[in-house]
Homo-oligomer: A and B are copies of this chain.
């Protein structure tokens, strides 16, 4: 066993498990002229000969790679397609065109892309099969504001929301109620074409109306909720007048609500969850077992402030190290989800690096060197905050390296400066962009 090496291999194996290429190759095939999708023990089958056009559309950070996989699966059956992804997340495709757009703040390319997808959907009839590839990032990448709302208005709203403390559900509620395509509206637009949405989840709970703001799923939120969110964060005066008017008029009924469960728009829609954080966690657990660790998934729904959540991992590590844990050793504890960072300092970092740094600080302040304890936190998209690292890897030697370099990790933590610290100590964890995204993973080994 070589725990630092093992952590690296377990993480990469888990990410490979949720790579769109391997996932789609494993789950989707064409058999006897039908497309067959196997997901979560269920099998879905659709006869391709019923359709004149088979079109692949897609949005999100993984959409180009998902498109590449679908080209391989569909081969000659594929008519054409268009996917919208984030700048720098393209792949080389043959029949499907790739558009790049702005994220997390939407831009004109996102609107152009959405208009194109809207036109394709409107032209589609019952002889068209749309395979819609959905992944995280789609909320910003696929934007078409309601009448009377400009791109600038939408950008301003997104900026205000990102700073407001509103969570992803709340942000998406407002996005859905100012959009012409989100909150299930795309399903209404593509009707009566047959639509199969293939969804890669990056959100905790895998709610289909939350991933990419719910393109082809019934919306659980309402104009009334959108209005109360504006009130809750006192945003009425801070967002553009046009958006406030849309929300207000929606409440009194002039603008139609987003489609709900049971709406006829969804009769021709099938939503299939292709992969999520849990799939990556389970692969990590299996790989851990193969390497000889007694492995357990603690949760795949983790949220919370990164530096505080770190203390939960430190607590479990401490018990294991003292031999008083219910978990057997050598232990691998796996968790996944998406934590948050409240920025108070001026440093550089990401939520995974911040969690790893808080874990280190907790041990350095209270405990003797921890030779048996190894902790990795990293994003499956290979991208932690505005840095070139996926996360950071904390091992026992790091304590001594920190001391010999005369660094003060607590000070770096106070300044949200985890990247600088791990860069100096050589403990950054880099994978490069993975073109998949199922949130973050935490892996804790105690020998």
Residues of A within 8 A of B (CB): 167, 169, 204-205, 232, 278, 285, 296-305, 308-312, 314-316, 318-319, 324-326, 335, 337, 362, 365-367, 410
Copy count, this protein chain: 2
Closest Cβ of chain B: how far from A339's Cβ, in Å? 9
Whether A169 touches B365, Cβ cut-off 8 Å, given contacts A296-B326, A298-B298, A318-B301, is yes
What are the 6 tightest A-B residue pairs by CB atom distance, in nearest-first order? A308-B308, A304-B311, A301-B315, A299-B315, A304-B308, A305-B308
- Decide if A366 touches B169 in the complex (CB within 8 Å): yes
Whether A302 touches B312, Cβ cut-off 8 Å, given contacts A278-B324, A365-B167, A367-B205, is yes
Contact residues in B for A304 (Cβ distance below 8 Å): 308-312, 315
Complex Cα gap A155–B375 (Å): 41
Closest Cβ of chain B: how far from A127's Cβ, in Å? 38
Complex Cα gap A38–B35 (Å): 69
- Decide if A299 touches B319 in the complex (CB within 8 Å): yes
Complex Cα gap A285–B366 (Å): 27
Complex Cα gap A362–B169 (Å): 12
Q: Nearest B residue to A300 by beta-carbon distance? A: B319
12 contacts between A and B (CB under 8 A): A169-B366, A205-B318, A297-B326, A299-B312, A299-B315, A299-B316, A299-B325, A300-B319, A303-B314, A308-B308, A308-B309, A315-B335
Contact residues in B for A308 (Cβ distance below 8 Å): 304-305, 308-309
Contact residues in B for A205 (Cβ distance below 8 Å): 318, 366-367
- Decide if B296 touches A204 in the complex (CB within 8 Å): no
- Decide if B311 touches A303 in the complex (CB within 8 Å): yes
Complex Cα gap A205–B370 (Å): 14
Closest Cβ of chain B: how far from A63's Cβ, in Å? 26
- Decide if B319 touches A301 in the complex (CB within 8 Å): yes
Name A315's contact: one of B302, B311, B319, B367 (CB within 8 Å): B302
Closest Cβ of chain B: how far from A46's Cβ, in Å? 27
Contact residues in B for A311 (Cβ distance below 8 Å): 302-304, 309
Q: Nearest B residue to A302 by beta-carbon distance? A: B315
Closest Cβ of chain B: how far from A209's Cβ, in Å? 12
Closest Cβ of chain B: how far from A275's Cβ, in Å? 13
Complex Cα gap A153–B302 (Å): 45
Name A204's contact: one of B315, B325, B326 (CB within 8 Å): B315
Closest Cβ of chain B: how far from A294's Cβ, in Å? 12
